[in-house]
Structure 1
Amino acid sequence: MGGEYVRRISVGEPQPAFLKAGMYAKERLRTRSLSGLGRLLDASQVWVVLLCTGVAAGLIAAGIDIATNWLGDLKHGYCGGAFYLSRRFCCLGLEAGETCREWVPWRAAVGAARSGYVVEYFFYIVFSILFAATASVLVGTYAIYAKHSGIPEIKTVLGGFVIRRFMGAQTLIIKSLGLCLAVASGLWLGKEGPLVHVACCCANILMKPFPSLSKNEARKREVLSAASAAGISVAFGSPIGGVLFSLEQLSYYFPDKAMWQSFVSAMVAAVTLQFMNPFRTGKLVLYQVKYTRGWHDFEIIPFAVLGVIGGLYGAFFIRLNMRIAQYRKTTIIRKYPITEVTIVALITALINFPIIFMRPSPSALVADLFQECSKTTEDPLGLCVDKTAPPIILLLLSSVLGILLASATFGLQVPAGIILPSMAIGALYGRSMGMVLQAFQRTHPTSWIFSSCTPDVECVTPGVFAIIGAASALGGVTRMTVSIVVIMFELTGALTYVLPIMIAVMLSKWVGDAFGKRGIYESWIRFKQYPFLDNREDPVPDVAVSEVMTRTEDLIVITEQGNTLAALDALLATQPYKGFPVVTDTRDAVLVGYISRSELRFALDQARRGGGAGDDTECVFSSPAAVAGSPFPMTPRVRGDAGVVDLRAWMDATPITLAPGASLLLVAGLFQKLGLRYVLFARHGVLQGLLTKKDVFEVLNGEEEGEAAGSDSQTAELVGMIIIDGSCTE
């Protein structure tokens, strides 16, 4: 690697997600200055932010649910008594089968009795396009960061990098409004992933009044990990699943206290959502099912088949979605994102309306597919009729069309999640398999296979297969395991079927991993070239670190003596690097330590204000004898007649150091498992070079055009507005 290239990628190292606040001298100085009550108040700040984040996430999620339902029903008609009410609230209190006279469909509103189907089809298409295009315009005009899911970016942030202005107030507003419009448009997308982004935006905004959190990247990322759990909690009504989702999918480092913080944040968010009760059901469980029958041993085989299908679906969906994204990026389509959204919305509306299984929202569809057929159960989709062949064929057709539409939708310039569409697709093919098995059992009730079935009692429950199919599809796309099982249990309350869900999820992950280790979120991280170093199993080049590290002659170093305060100020003003090795002198280069840019800047400012140092004051990183004072002062100040500022306390005197002959595999493992931001290399104490996390990322992912991983790079995928770097502020 050439010197210029090495220097470019070594500019900005990421802040490690695991780094404790006390490891910074600046943080130690701040905490030592606090009294007993001050320390208590300082420690309570994180809990104040988490509690407020949970409440805010619950309130916003409830508002999104209410607005989405009203906008979605507006495609079919309006409430004559109160235009602002959705159909559910307009017809609230009516008995099953009773006609709702307050609700006015569009065919009645325009007085078109004979051509009513055409009129409703027309209004459905018009509102679908209007909602989708409006969401795209809002995102493109006011907050480009609000598009897509947001989870790949959150994983990158929690992995130790900063995406500036990604979680601001404007992004929060546009993400929430755009999510309401995008979901209501009927596009095959969900709100679950974007709600994680919404919750993290709330946490980021609420941290602003607390500098000890907002100015400390390590503590900030712990709060964001907990906030992401609140997002899943309000998306599914699944607080425990939210904690596990943050642990399994999002967090790069998850200490014990982060688990407790995530639990509290998810619980508060769930309590707030239930208190708001947006659907007036009084229940937190979204798709509660009450099955009157259990499952039988012979059903293990079709459950396992569903798991295999889920893995195949996940692998196919990821490849198809990535192909579409690559085509969108490399053709003229990328210049007209709003037009693309409009065309996709038009095609989706044209397909959705005629097919009964595609007309409802994915959430309503999943709820209907999960239900058991009984005399008291409503059957708006006709799943409980005796003629099974037409529904089965239509279910499979809807599943295939859903895959195609979701692949084209996930990646458009609108807020979009993939969790709920995948669940809907899996529930469609799962329900169809359950109906096939049910029909076969009814035709051959005396077969030895069905010997465990009770006579005159329905043996097979197709709704169970819908749940298993939904879990398998979600596992195939995201490659999650434990969190999916818990989320499905909390979604449905069907504890009896945890074992079949576990079997299906396990097989879906195995089959999906056979075609590629990356899930949909990791695939998008790689596609956008975000500097995320994941704990993957891909082979690492068997080379020595000396071949890829930034060598000493290409580094900007600081000598332990001979620097003035003005010289160090000039160094910070002219060099954009995020840290500097400290050596004895430039000729021998014996390693003394490493000082980060933020620590050096803060120390110099303290020396000017509190120590009375001037531009000509000497700054040293040497032993106590050189400055005639007590070692490791916490406040830099002028010492002795010569006027010397001791900066040793602000330097990391024991940085992680390896021999330059170490293998890249070892160093990559240290970066992945310990969350390091840099590693220094020395031989017999002499500095030989430096390697940052971004260096390793570049080596493992190769040099590609497009989004660069350097600290000064701009991500072209987001119109050059999101700057990814390792700085300490956003």
Structure 2
Amino acid sequence: MHIKINSIDTNFSTLSDSSSIPKQKTDLNNSELNETNSRRNSNDGTISTNKNVSIYGYDQIKHKKRIRKRESTVSGKRVAYENFTTIDWNHDFAKDRNRRNKVKKRKSLKGRIYLIYDACQSWILVILIGIVTGLLAAFIAISADWISDIKEGHCKSGFYLNRKFCCWGNPGYQCPDWEKWSDFFNIHHQFLKGIVNLFMYTFIACLATFIAAYLVREFAPYSAGSGIPEVKTILGGFVIKKFLGMRTLIMKCIGLSLSVGAGLSVGKEGPLVHVGCCVGNLCSRLFSKFNNNSARLREALSAASAAGVSVAFGAPIGGVLFSLEEVSYYFPMKTLWRSFLSALTGALTLQLMNPFRSGKVVLFQVAYTRIWHIFELPIYILLGIIGGLYGAFFIKMNMKVVKLRKFSWLKKYPIQEVFVVTLITSIISYGFLFLRVSMTQLISNLFRECSELESDFGGLCKKTQIKSTIFMLLIALVLKIIMTIFTFGIRVPAGIFVPSLAVGALIGRIVGILMQLWQESHPDLWIFSSCNPDVQCVTPGVYAFIGAAAALGGVTRMTVSTTVIMFELTGSLSYVLPVMVTVMVSKWIGDAFDKDSIYDALIDLNQYPFLDSKRDYYSDAIVSDIMTKVDNLIVLPAIGLTINDIENILQEYPFQGFPIVNNTYDKLLIGYIGRSELRYTIDQIEDIENVDGTIQCYFTKKSPDAYGIGDPNQQQKFLDLRPWIDSTPYTITPNYKVVKVLELFKKIGLRHVIIVRRGKLVGLLNKKDLLRYLSTLKTE
């Protein structure tokens, strides 16, 4: 009764074996269980066992199992989305329109009050997301700073205090309350002091990352990494259950504090986007119109990602632009406003918490008092070129390491790998001041002018030690690049924002020092004619700032959001133009090698079904060249299948949906039904006692008797599956251009499109087939 297929799944799983999709039971409310079987249709004798399934002539119902919650729209009823499938954007938007229409039709006072509440739900939600994200960001910042400082000593007045709070009011290192570990153990020999301090530094770092890696492996595997590639995929419509759950959120916050505080070459800023989206997902459960609608949920997640960047950098406008430019797939104007409010609320909450006790929420705020000169523009462009080259190099090398980690024996020992990486990083970092301090402190010192530095950090301002300072910066740069390449991707929460800024700041500071030496050695050159002889002409800290923007742009390929984030960090409007030029050049250079950012590269590596709306493809192919032809499809006839037939199809084929035709000869398209809906109805019928597996199923509007099935002298039993059919699926002709179909998938959010010729089914094109074809274009 059906035609064998090779591929028809409208969605595909890259995170599990697609051939073994779990059969999940779903929930049925008690009120639904109590629906009597007395609801008879006087015309055909159908008895409705509940709102969704009807059996012709069947009188008794008894449910044994709990069944999945159902959803309904005008285009056919739906069950909850399975894991590793794509949401139906059109269905969810239609469902939300129906809900709004029902709310607006309520003319009573209670209905009008509910209408006001319904309109306010979105704003209440984004405010709540911002507040909770800000609180979590403050917790992560305080705990990470404490772990970072506890590696070198402890506070005698309070073990819970980090060095900054312990030494409040005591500038520099003159702090009697802060005790190094060698003094704590009463070690007096100078050599033994160094050994004890190194041991404690390394031991605490390894212990912290071991705990983080263990928590990730045992309790929340999804909390590892930055989470931004998966967030982009989820916002694109893919379903990854538990990725934004409570356990993932808790382990992400704890693990992030441990991994950043341990001194690994990672940052907490990117993972805060994942934290914000976890908060958004959990808070959305409080509001039915978001909890019961996956498309609306993704609007809330877009606002949550903006809040994550806002609290990470103290840059609310940059957070909104980051959500728009980098992670969001569907970003209407209303989402822009909500993202702005969420980012603003998060920044205000962080400001009130004041975790740095500086009255500021930015990581490293500097204010440059001198303007830039036109002769510096070529050097800024050079920094952009270097940043683009670094971005391309880092992505290529890190992907090689990630592939080695993913497809070799290393994947069996994630905790051991984390321990080894931490051990090597700690031993190397302890001997270099530029690597021993936290990366935020390193970047802050590299950005600052010499007059703003509380002390001469690493000899940056000693002109008598210029050569040795440049040499130490070069060593720190090389080591930082190597450590970042091998660290990003290990099984702990880790981000790439701050390491990229640190690498760029080191490059920029070196270039700035060399530029300053050149100008001071040859002040009479014509290119320096615009310099005031009584004022310092070249500021090395500015070059570090520009270089950091270039490196971040080269790795992430962001332009507008990077510029705004850097501007919000410094507040120096006069340097917006150099940053814009540098970031744009960095993107151009990086795109010349590969247009993928580090997040896009990880999406491709993990084979997530993400259709990037920013990519352009050129092809002369037509749909018939890449579609799955009808001879290779499982096609369900409108009448003639039994419950046993459908059960066998579901067990034998792991595909996510099936076209429905009038019969297997004419193949006139009637509609489309998803696997989840079939699974739901079959499970529901199987829960009824004494059900005959030979009960006929029908998908057509015609009465089953019209087909002459069964003995007309006996009452027959039929399973009505019409409510679950999408009777108006998107259809196109076989000669449709692939590039046009691509626009349909991008802008409408299709899961699949059915190809027909004069109403007859000829094939099916799903997102999987389209992505597979686009990957061949990229290879070419």
TM-score range relative to shorter protein: 0.7 to 0.9
Q: Where does residue 5 of structure 1 map in the other structure?
A: 6
Structure 1 Cα separation of the partners of residues 446 and 463 of structure 2? 16
Would you say 1:662 and 2:739 are equivalent positions?
A: no
SS at match of 2:451: coil
Structure 2 Cα separation of the partners of residues 601 and 42 of structure 1? 33
Quick one: percent identity of the two aligned structures?
48
Contact 2:314 2:347 in 1 (8 A): yes
Q: Which amino acid aligns with 1:194?
A: P
Q: Where does residue 590 of structure 2 map in the other structure?
A: 512
Shift of 1:694: 1.6
Q: Where does residue 459 of structure 1 map in the other structure?
A: 537
Cα distance per residue 1:43-81 (max 9 Å; x no partner): 433333322211111101000000001110001110000
Structure 1 Cα separation of the partners of residues 100 and 351 of structure 2? 43
Cα distance per residue 1:133-160 (max 9 Å; x no partner): 2211111111111111111111111111
Structure 2 Cα separation of the partners of residues 29 and 590 of structure 1? 35
Q: Where does residue 755 of structure 2 map in the other structure?
A: 681
Contact 2:623 2:738 in 1 (8 A): yes
Equivalent position to 1:23, from 80, 94, 101: 94
Structure 1 Cα separation of the partners of residues 678 and 183 of structure 2? 72
Equivalent position to 1:419, from 497, 505, 508: 497
Q: Where does residue 118 of structure 2 map in the other structure?
A: 42
Query: TM-score of the superposition, structure 2-length normalised?
Result: 0.81
Structure 1 Cα separation of the partners of residues 619 and 474 of structure 2? 44
Q: Which amino acid aligns with 1:491?
A: L
Q: Which amino acid aligns with 2:775?
A: N
Cα distance per residue 1:298-322 (max 9 Å; x no partner): 1101100000000000010011101
Q: Which amino acid aligns with 1:151?
A: I
SS at match of 1:104: strand
SS at match of 1:192: coil
Structure 2 Cα separation of the partners of residues 25 and 493 of structure 1? 42
Structure 2 Cα separation of the partners of residues 98 and 515 of structure 1? 46
Between 1:466-475 and 1:487-496, the stretch displaced more is: 487-496
Q: Where does residue 364 of structure 1 map in the other structure?
A: 441
In structure 2, the CA distance between the partners of 1:39 and 1:567, relative to structure 1 (3 Å rule), is farther
Structure 1 Cα separation of the partners of residues 544 and 702 of structure 2? 70
In structure 2, the CA distance between the partners of 1:212 and 1:577, relative to structure 1 (3 Å rule), is farther
Structure 2 Cα separation of the partners of residues 224 and 218 of structure 1? 10
Q: Which amino acid aligns with 1:520?
A: I
Equivalent residues in 2 for 1:269-668, closer than 5 Å: 269-374=346-451, 377-387=454-464, 388-535=466-613, 537=615, 542-557=620-635, 577-596=655-674, 621-622=700-701, 651-668=725-742
Shift of 1:29: 9.6
Q: Which amino acid aligns with 2:308?
A: G
Equivalent position to 2:327, from 235, 246, 250: 250
In structure 2, the CA distance between the partners of 1:601 and 1:325, relative to structure 1 (3 Å rule), is closer
Structure 1 Cα separation of the partners of residues 742 and 596 of structure 2? 18
Structure 1 Cα separation of the partners of residues 4 and 738 of structure 2? 19
In structure 2, the CA distance between the partners of 1:24 and 1:322, relative to structure 1 (3 Å rule), is same
Shift of 1:538: 7.0
Cα distance per residue 1:154-173 (max 9 Å; x no partner): 11111111112111111111
SS at match of 1:381: helix
Shift of 1:93: 2.5
Would you say 1:63 and 2:64 are equivalent positions?
A: no
Contact 1:373 1:384 in 2 (8 A): yes
- Count of residue correspondences: 685
The unaligned stretches of length 5 or more in structure 1 are 609-613, 628-640, 704-730
Q: Which amino acid aligns with 1:109?
A: F
Equivalent position to 2:180, from 105, 111, 114: 105
Q: Which amino acid aligns with 1:689?
A: G
In structure 2, the CA distance between the partners of 1:582 and 1:5, relative to structure 1 (3 Å rule), is closer
Q: Where does residue 300 of structure 2 map in the other structure?
A: 223
Between 1:36-45 and 1:466-475, the stretch displaced more is: 36-45
Structure 1 Cα separation of the partners of residues 222 and 460 of structure 2? 41
SS at match of 1:7: coil
Contact 1:562 1:620 in 2 (8 A): no
Contact 1:14 1:693 in 2 (8 A): no
Shift of 1:577: 4.6
Shift of 1:329: 2.6
In structure 2, the CA distance between the partners of 1:643 and 1:329, relative to structure 1 (3 Å rule), is closer
Contact 2:121 2:287 in 1 (8 A): yes
Structure 1 Cα separation of the partners of residues 11 and 534 of structure 2? 73
The unaligned stretches of length 5 or more in structure 2 are 14-83, 687-691, 707-714
Contact 2:381 2:585 in 1 (8 A): yes
In structure 2, the CA distance between the partners of 1:644 and 1:501, relative to structure 1 (3 Å rule), is same
SS at match of 2:434: coil
Q: Which amino acid aligns with 2:757?
A: R
Shift of 1:509: 0.4
Cα distance per residue 1:242-291 (max 9 Å; x no partner): 11111111112211121112111111111111111001111123321122
Shift of 1:194: 0.9
SS at match of 2:755: strand
Structure 2 Cα separation of the partners of residues 572 and 227 of structure 1? 38
Contact 1:26 1:599 in 2 (8 A): no
Contact 2:699 2:725 in 1 (8 A): no
Q: Where does residue 222 of structure 2 map in the other structure?
A: 145
Structure with bigger gyration radius: 2
Would you say 1:691 and 2:768 are equivalent positions?
A: no
SS at match of 2:624: helix
Query: TM-score of the superposition, structure 1-length normalised?
Result: 0.86
Shift of 1:423: 0.3
Contact 2:134 2:346 in 1 (8 A): yes
Q: Where does residue 212 of structure 2 map in the other structure?
A: 135
Structure 1 Cα separation of the partners of residues 145 and 772 of structure 2? 45
Q: Which amino acid aligns with 2:565?
A: I
SS at match of 1:374: helix
In structure 2, the CA distance between the partners of 1:29 and 1:455, relative to structure 1 (3 Å rule), is closer
Structure 2 Cα separation of the partners of residues 157 and 490 of structure 1? 28
Shift of 1:475: 0.5
Structure 1 Cα separation of the partners of residues 634 and 102 of structure 2? 32
In structure 2, the CA distance between the partners of 1:343 and 1:604, relative to structure 1 (3 Å rule), is closer
Structure 1 Cα separation of the partners of residues 534 and 732 of structure 2? 73
Contact 1:565 1:619 in 2 (8 A): no
Q: Where does residue 71 of structure 2 map in the other structure?
A: none
In structure 2, the CA distance between the partners of 1:334 and 1:563, relative to structure 1 (3 Å rule), is closer
Q: Where does residue 77 of structure 1 map in the other structure?
A: 153
In structure 2, the CA distance between the partners of 1:665 and 1:351, relative to structure 1 (3 Å rule), is same
SS at match of 1:163: coil
Equivalent residues in 2 for 1:124-203, closer than 5 Å: 124-203=201-280
Q: Where does residue 87 of structure 1 map in the other structure?
A: 163
